[in-house]
């Protein structure tokens, strides 16, 4: 496995065949590992990027305390069979404050957008830089961040990046909590409260399987499990452009953002159309 610190080194190490890229901010967990595994299965060469992107943090304190575990991350990448890790420093990624920003309008206007000003421009800008600088053929993202996935698909289409964007299921703890690098900050009490997010989403998924299509009813079903949480939003949104839906009538996701104590968490359940029926993607529960 080669660890590259500049775009040039990473491109040089790229090798032959179809290249799959897994962009991350490090502090890797089983969710990231599942993206690496998906890339190893479908690409000839796999690149992972590890970069805590200051542009996408709207809160400097959050950036400051974001977990950084490079040695453990490199071990996970090595075990997964990654060929190249791109781990640039901030000075490589942004030798000066960038004057160019990638803003995906409309898709960024809902849910996370208003709550985290500048966040999605930061994400779209860094992913555009990774696509341009590393030139992958495929890129793997988690459905855990469903709105982010819609933004990246839109950005790649609008800017004609020749990259196939692949969305992968959410990895969860055995109790249902979506794995996240920020979960390390949860106290025991907060962790128990945090289970309300996934419990609510699974309850709404049950309702969809029972034939319910009204967004208001699905949202109430989800909220009924979220008593101990400070909920920012629960919304049903289109997978294509993240716009709010009042009825489940196309591929969609039910998304929630909530505080468990001081820790802000997001989660969602996607509703895909399979054989003409709405089918919830509840994610994958893993031990450990
Ligand atoms: P991050 O390092 O948090 O920026 O995440 C890097 C990638 O991992 C993104 O595409 C996320 O959507 C994905 N990811 C984060 N958590 C999970 C999870 N629990 N299951 C699957 N993918 C995830």
Q: Which of 23, 24, 149 to mutate to test the pocket of ligand 1 (most atoms within 8 A of CB)?
A: 24
For the question of residue 29 being annotated catalytic, the response is: no
Among 50, 53, 73, CA closest to 62? 53
CA distance 250 to 222: 19
CA distance 142 to 34: 9
Q: Which of 22, 26, 27, 31 to mutate to test the pocket of ligand 1 (most atoms within 8 A of CB)?
A: 31
Secondary-structure class of domain 2-171 per CATH: alpha beta
Ligand 1, CB cutoff 6 Å, lining residues: 24-25, 31-32, 34-35, 141-142, 144-145, 168, 170-171, 178-181
Among 80, 90, 79, CA closest to 35? 80
Q: Which residues pair with 270 in a beta bridge?
A: 253, 281
Kindly list the domain boundaries of the chain, sorted by start residue: 2-171, 181-281
Exactly one of 12, 32, 115, 119 is catalytic; name it: 32
Q: What is the CA radius of gyration of the chain?
A: 19
Provide the pLDDT for residue 25.
98
Please state the atom number of ligand 1 nearest to the C-alpha of residue 26: 2
pLDDT tens sequence for the chain (288 residues):
999 999 999 999 999 999 999 999 999 999 999 999 999 999 999 999 999 999 999 999 999 999 999 999 999 999 999 999 999 999 999 999 999 999 999 999 999 999 999 999 999 999 999 999 999 999 999 999 999 999 999 999 999 999 999 999 999 999 999 999 999 999 999 999 999 999 999 999 999 999 999 999 999 999 999 999 999 999 999 999 999 999 999 999 999 999 999 999 999 999 999 999 999 999 999 996
Is this prediction's pTM over 0.95? Answer: yes
181-281 shares the fold of 2-171: no
Fold entry, domain 181-281? 3.30.1300
Provide the pLDDT for residue 288.
66
CA distance 128 to 147: 16
């Amino acid at each position: 496995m080669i660890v590259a610190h500049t775009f040039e080194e990473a491109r040089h190490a790229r090798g032959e065949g179809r290249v799959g890229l897994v962009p991350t901010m490090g502090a890797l967990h089983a969710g990231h590992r599942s993206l690496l595994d998906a890339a190893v299965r479908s690409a000839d060469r796999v690149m992972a990027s590890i970069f805590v992107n200051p542009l996408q943090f709207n809160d400097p304190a959050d950036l400051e305390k974001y977990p950084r575990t490079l040695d453990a991350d490199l071990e996970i990448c090595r075990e997964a069979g990654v060929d190249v890790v791109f781990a640039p420093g901030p000075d490589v990624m942004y030798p000066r404050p960038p004057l160019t920003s990638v803003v995906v309008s409309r898709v960024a206007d809902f849910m996370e957008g208003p709550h985290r000003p500048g966040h999605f421009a930061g994400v779209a800008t860094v992913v555009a830089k990774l696509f341009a600088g590393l030139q992958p053929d495929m890129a793997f993202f988690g459905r855990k961040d469903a709105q982010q996935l819609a933004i990246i698909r839109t950005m790649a289409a609008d800017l004609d990046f020749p990259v196939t964007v692949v969305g992968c299921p959410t990895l969860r703890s055995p109790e249902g909590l979506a794995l996240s690098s920020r979960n390390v900050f949860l106290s025991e009490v907060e962790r128990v409260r945090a289970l309300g997010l996934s419990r609510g989403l699974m309850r709404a998924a049950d309702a969809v399987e029972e034939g319910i299509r009204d967004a208001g009813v699905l949202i109430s079903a989800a909220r009924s499990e979220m008593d101990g949480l400070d909920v920012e939003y629960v919304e049903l949104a289109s997978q294509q452009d993240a716009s709010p839906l009042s009825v489940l009538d196309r591929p969609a996701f039910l998304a929630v953002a909530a505080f468990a104590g001081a820790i802000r968490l997001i989660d969602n359940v996607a509703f895909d159309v399979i054989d003409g029926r709405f089918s919830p993607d509840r994610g994958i529960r893993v031990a450990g």
